[in-house]
Structure 1
Amino acid sequence: MRMKLRRIHVDGVDFFWRVLWDPDAANSDYLFLRVWVAGCKAYPWLTVHYQFHNPWLFYGDIISAVTPEQQQRARDYSQLKPLTPGKVAEIIRKATSLLDDEYADRRLDKSWYLNINREGALNWDWRNIMNISQITLLIKRLKQSGVSFVEGLSDEEFVAIQSEFQVTFPPDLKQFLQAAMPVSERFVNWRAGLNSTKVKQQIEQRINWPLEGMLFDVENNSYWENSWGEKPGSAEEREVIVSQHFYTYPKLIPIYSHRYIPATPNEAGNPVFSVYQMDIIYYGYDLASYFAHEFSFSLPESFEAPEEPKYIEFWGDF
């Protein structure tokens, strides 16, 4: 669900803004405020994670508060504010002030992610990653390498994809796919997966490929992790144990061929792995360096490629 796109004028600059519910929130009191600079609507300039006053959610807790703990919680709820145009203007001003401290020369050239707490203070989010120029250059280099693109995925499509395939996209991959979606052979056509049973099954096979490869090596190449305990005698028991452990590891999201990026931690900068059965190697220390490696092109120093990969539970042990 989302609100319509609205226009707002703040300190001499025109913006557009929209509210979207946070589909991953445990309760219905968190949302995302998206703000675009007028004339540059390809990417949101600002995304703010905001806890707001939802009277339908909190009304019962407020009127039934009896114990000191319940009364304190009711007072906390009452401090939350609805997201009015005036509140949006206030957030834009605070964000502009915060960005001016360090990024005044390019604060409108990047998609920024911020959190706002109950006291109204803005904080940096870990999802600040590639700016518009970097994404544009990355897509350009991929096109020069023969990769075909279509229109990027919308917020509604991401919600549908996450629900349909039970996946969560790390923010840099999501940001990339919002700009444009690669559809050349061996890429994942997520949009088609929502509209075609055949493509949906193909994507599900790609998602299940790491587990299938693990089970293959267990049965054919004597693979077994010590942490799984004693190896059972039957194939059926082995499959149960392997599957149980597999689903506790960070989920791998297919990108291209048998290259995967972990969904967790839900942060920018996760490495990309090449996964072929239990032959697992790093193929990029982050998303941009992966594409450069896969398609044999170089990136300018502005991309600041990590010198070593972020550690990922289990998958980083190979």
Structure 2
Amino acid sequence: MSLIIPQDYTEFLHWVKERTEAFWNADSDENSSEFVCDDWVRGAKWIGMTDEEIEAVETKHQIKFTDHHKKFLKILHTIDRKQTIFDGTLNEKGLLVPKEVSLFYNWYAEEEEITQHLNKPFNLLEEEVVNNTVWLDSWGEKPESNEDKQHIFSTWFNNAPKLIPINLNTFAISEPTNTDNPILLVHGRNTIIKGGNIKHYLLQELDADLGLLEYVYDETDEGWYEEPKEELTAIYDAEYDALKTKEIPYWKEFLLTNGFNDYLVKGC
């Protein structure tokens, strides 16, 4: 069966833009799909960035996007809607405080959140090191003092490719800049690979919006379940096979502390 998902990366990004916007802007009464978009994203449009804007962001935050990440930012970047969530934060009266979050970070308008998340991986992982839940073989013998452990970790982290926030706890590995690097979901020592690359990540993040899921009836459970269509499953399988031998400077050793099967999220 021929794939409807473009193989060329630039063509793929334009395909994502056109397909998702069509889904978000479809009249619910005329939508023939089994899946309907959430109210908060209805009518949404993507907001791309110019080359000059991307360069300004890199200079301001002292980061470097990969070539693939730059193409993502130019064609997609973020959408002109935010979702209201409740993350457990309480106000002085003990009531849940609503929080607006973007589908993907807006490098124009969310400077404070982005700055916090640029520092988040270091803070989370340093805490794990100090609490003795993470120690890599390449760091040598573990010292007794927290100060020495922090120094060894800081040296390693500062030499490792930077992690650039995409969405909440999701980060792109910034080096090498000429390759399409894995996307990480950072949760301290439980950090995992969310996608083998940006394309793989977007297919998982937007699978329903792209029309790549279908309902399948399970006779044993007597219920309907969402499953990826055949063409999406084929891409998933190829990406996971490629990841087994893919070079991931610095971060692969960290990910392997939990074992390959634990650090890889499949089809989530």
**Normalised TM-score (structure 2):** 0.60
Alignment CA distance shift 1:269-1:280 (3 Å): same
| CA gap 1:142/1:268 in 2 versus in 1, 3 angstroms | farther
One-letter amino acid of the structure 1 residue matched with residue 108 of structure 2? R
Q: 1:163 aligns with which of 59, 66, 70?
A: 59
Mapped pair 1:138 → 2:16:
yes
Contact kept, 8 Å, 1:271 with 1:287, in 2: the verdict is yes
Cα deviations by residue, 1:116-159 (Å, 9 ceiling, x for unpaired): xxxxxxxxxxxx95133x22221244444666444311111111
- CA deviation digits over 1:217-244, x for unaligned, max 9? 1123532122223333332332222111
In structure 2, distance between residues paired with 1:180 and 1:150: 6
Q: 1:246, CA displacement in angstroms?
A: 0.5
The corresponding residue for 1:277 is 188
Query: Which residue is equivalent to 2:175?
Result: 264
- 2:70 is matched with 174
Q: How many Å separate the matches in 1 of 2:19 and 2:160?
A: 33
Larger Rg, first or second structure (1 or 2): 1
State the alpha-carbon separation in 2 of the partners of residues 149 and 282 from structure 1.
Answer: 28
Change in 2 beyond 3 A, CA 1:174/1:244? same
Separation in structure 2 between the aligned mates of residue 238 and residue 142 of structure 1, nearest angstrom: 46
User: Is residue 235 of structure 1 aligned with residue 146 of structure 2?
Assistant: yes
Alignment of 1:1-318 (within 5 A): 130-132=9-11, 134-143=12-21, 144=23, 148-183=44-79, 184=82, 185-186=101-102, 187-192=104-109, 199-297=110-208, 298=212, 306=239, 307-309=241-243, 310-317=246-253, 318=255
> How far apart, CA to CA, are the structure 1 residues paired with 2:120 and 2:149?
17
8 Å Cα contact 2:169/2:185 also seen in 1: yes
Query: What CA deviation, in whole Å up to 9, does each residue of 1:155-212 have, x standing for no partner?
Result: 11111110111111111221121113214424221112xxxxxx32321211111111
Deviations 1:74-112 (A, max 9, x none): xxxxxxxxxxxxxxxxxxxxxxxxxxxxxxxxxxxx9xx
- Distance in 2, matches of 1:253 and 1:225, equals 22
Which whole-Å CA distance do the structure 2 matches of 1:180 and 1:296 have between them?
16
Query: Matches of 2:60 and 2:167 in 1, distance apart?
Result: 20
Gaps of 5+ in 2: 1-5, 24-36, 83-100, 213-228, 256-268
Distance 1:286 1:141 in 2: 20
Structure ranking higher on relative contact order (CA contacts 8 Å, 6+ apart) = 2
CA contact 2:129–2:135 (8 Å) conserved in 1: yes
SS at match of 1:218: helix
Query: Structure 2: which amino acid aligns with 1:237?
Result: D
* Aligned amino acid, residue 13 of structure 2: I
Q: Indicate if the aligned counterparts of 2:66 and 2:178 stay in contact, CA closer than 8 A.
A: yes
Distance 2:132 2:142 in 1: 14
Measured in 1, the distance between the counterparts of 2:162 and 2:184 equals 12
* Distance of aligned partners of 1:215 and 1:228 in 2 relative to their CA distance in 1, 3 Å threshold: same
Q: SS of 1:232's equivalent?
A: coil
2:13 and 2:76 in contact (8 A); partners too: no
Native 8 Å contact 1:206 1:254 kept in 2: yes
Which is further off, 136-145 or 205-214?
Answer: 136-145
Letter in 2 for 1:252: L
Task: Give the letter aligned to residue 169 of structure 1.
Answer: F
Q: Output the CA distance in 2 between the equivalents of 1:261 and 1:251.
A: 8
Say whether the 8 Å CA contact 1:217–1:277 is kept in structure 2.
Answer: yes
